[in-house]
Amino acid sequence: MTHTLDTGQRSRANGHTNPFAAVPRNLATIMRMELPDLAAEIISEIRTTIPEYARPMNGPYGQAIRLGVEQALTAFVDQVANPGGPHDTRDEVCRRLGQYEAHEGRSLDSLQAAYRIGTRVAWHRVMKVAQQYNLSLTIISLLADALFDYMDELAALSRQGYMEAQARSADVLEHWRRRLLRLILERPPAPSTAIVELAGLACWPVPDQVTMVATRPLPYDKSLLDTDVLAELDAVEPHLLIPGPLTEQRAAMLEVGLAGSRIAVGPAVSLASAAESLRWSRQALALAEDGRIEAGRVVLCEEHLVELLLLSDTALVDQIAKRELGALDGMSAHRRQRLTETLAAWLDSRGSAARMAEKMAIHPQTVRYRMRQVEQVFGDQLEDPESRFALDLVMRAGRLRERPTRAANRKRN
């Protein structure tokens, strides 16, 4: 006897978006008898065809495959029997299958292939049953529509679970990495065991050296940075940690990832000194922005270590200047400036009158005259190595601090 649709079923099928609505309900009884054997056939085919799924069936992975296949088949027959019935359990199982693939670190290719295999094996079984029970071509066509639509729906649910798991994993990983960066920068330093333990949670190999980078707040796209870079780009003072020294590839990454902002790159240091490197980077960034350090968009601390030292404690430098230049107190501003310029040229030129004259653009005889005045004022200070060092430090720091003023004067002129 050939099975056909009754009139009521046909009318319900017209314009109905649920492909199961038009399938005869009595087919559910026939199909349910096929489920145990069909599930075993699908599982066997999946394990034979896809190497990733060829694991012992008594383990967690095998149980997950069996549960997924059995639940998918049972829910399909349930929908044939009751197209409007709930399928929350099926949906949750499919999402979990996708989540499991994400947790395993794989793409969805294997799971999608498993769905295709399941569809193919199930369709072969449908054709066998159709022949056995003399199902009409109309019913076979309806079953085909329902089956392929159903498998598309399962694949979409697994894809949704996969994406959700990836998002959660990314959020969790980002959380641990932000905590790790803060721990590395703690002062006093955190125990190395705590850093190693947290680095394990963050899936971050602990390097021997790191490079710290300071920048200014901007809407950065963190996806443009290398995956092993630790960063807090939404902080009040954005910063990031690069494992290892700054290579050409890392520099190119910074050019793209931090485009539009001036950045300062600290020297490569041990992990325990990361906070110091970041402090120098932030200082260099501030000094470059106010003109005391001459640099482009990327400020390399390695090229400005002396400037960073001289400008790291201006109050202390002022105290040294007060002590070493005390002999100038009470002089007019003009005479004071002339003597300090001469003293600075003498220190830079190691006492050579010819080099001093060239540097100051005056006659050597004038240099000798001015130096006699300097010697009268500073006396034994010029012979004492420590005093000469202190004077040189004060002169160099003074020039660095005056650099923005000189630059502004040049612009006006």
Share of the chain above pLDDT 90, in %: 54
More confident residue, 402 or 300: 300
236 burial (CB, 10 Å; 0-12 / 13-18 / 19+) is exposed
Q: What is the pLDDT of residue 75?
A: 93
Average pLDDT, the chain: 88
- Tens of pLDDT along 189-200? 899 999 999 998
Across 227-233, average pLDDT: 95
207: exposed, middle or buried (Cβ count in 10 Å: 0-12, 13-18, 19+)? middle
Angle, in degrees to the nearest 10, between helices 364-378 and 353-360: 110
Q: What is the pLDDT of residue 410?
A: 66
Residue 281 in this model has a pLDDT that exceeds 70: yes
Q: What is the pLDDT of residue 411?
A: 67
pLDDT, residue 17, reads 72
The residues with which 240 forms a beta bridge, in sequence order, are 213, 231
- At 408 the pLDDT is 65
End-to-end CA distance of the chain: 106
Structure tokens at 156: 């979409």
Residue 413 binned pLDDT confidence (cut-offs 50, 70, 90):
low
| Tens of pLDDT, residues 266-275 | 999 999 999 9
pLDDT tens for 98-123 read 988 888 878 889 899 999 999 999 99
SS3 for 249-316, per residue? HHHHHHHHHCCCCCEEECCCEEHHHHHHHHHHHHHHHHHHHCCCCCCCCEEEHHHHHHHHHHCCCHHH
Sorting pLDDT into bands at 50, 70 and 90, what band is 407? Answer: low
Residues 132-136 have a mean pLDDT of 91
- Smallest Cα–Cα separation from 292: which of 398, 390, 213, 217? 398
Output the six-digit token pair for 115: 């769905």
Residue 298 — φ and ψ, nearest 5°?
Answer: -105, 120
pLDDT tier for residue 285 given thresholds of 50, 70 and 90? very high
| pLDDT tops 90 at residue 184 | yes
In order of start, what are the domains of the chain with their CATH numbers?
Answer: 7-169 (1.10.490), 208-305 (3.30.70), 314-412 (no CATH)
Least confident of 53-62, 298-307, 395-404: 53-62
Residues 6+ apart with CB under 8 A from 410: none
Neighbours of 246 (CB within 10 A): 19
Helix (H/G/I), strand (E/B), else coil: 117: helix
DSSP letters of 129-162? Answer: HHHHTTB-HHHHHHHHHHHHHHHHHHHHHHHHHH
Per-residue pLDDT band at 160 (split at 50, 70, 90): very high
Q: What is the pLDDT of residue 287?
A: 94
- pLDDT attached to residue 181: 97
What is the reported pLDDT for 8?
A: 34
pLDDT per residue as tens digits for the range 313-365: 989 988 998 999 988 988 888 899 888 888 888 888 887 888 888 888 888 88
Which tens digits make up the pLDDT trace of 33-71?
A: 999 999 999 999 999 998 888 877 777 777 888 898 999
The model's pLDDT over 80-93, given as tens digits with 9 standing for 90+, comes to: 999 988 989 999 99
Kind and range of the H or E run holding 24: none
- What lies within 8 Å, CB to CB, of 391 at 6+ separation is 324, 325, 343, 347, 378, 381
